[in-house]
Amino acid sequence: MRTLKTAMRWALGLLFVAAGAIHFRRPEFYLRMMPPQLPWPVELVYLSGAFEIVLGALVLVPRYSSLAAWGLIALLIAVFPANVHMALHPADFPEFDPAMLWARLPIQGVLVAWAYWYTRPRR
């Protein structure tokens, strides 16, 4: 079980580092996701990408993994409105099947649960 948990921690960390990097490579995609009510959309795209990279990397460091996991949970909650915005406006995302946009919403819950697994200090 310990080996599985370690492997899954690496998968989680690398997933967030990669996802965060994409915010800087393709910011225009993430800008389309931003609900129009939010101010400073460009800055929020870059800020969320930076947090994904930093927290994804820190979850791999045993000393900081618990704190980073809580940060990832907070980040997932913070970006949830953008995922809802995508699902409610499928015409803005013609490259995706509308069902896929709705399927992303419960996946956020899976990611929260995955990160929560690492909130307990290591023994």
User: pLDDT for 32-73, tens place per residue?
Assistant: 999 999 999 999 999 999 999 999 999 999 999 999 999 999
Do the Cβ atoms of 72 and 16 come closer than 8 Å?
yes
Characterize 29-54 residue by residue with b for buried, 16 or more Cβ atoms within 10 angstroms of its Cβ, and e for exposed: ebeebbeeeeeebeebbbebbebbbb
* Residue 121 resides in a domain: no
Domain coverage including residue 102: 2-116
User: pLDDT for 18-37, tens place per residue?
Assistant: 999 999 999 999 999 999 99
Total structural domains within the chain: 1
Is the overall model pTM greater than 0.75, yes or no? yes
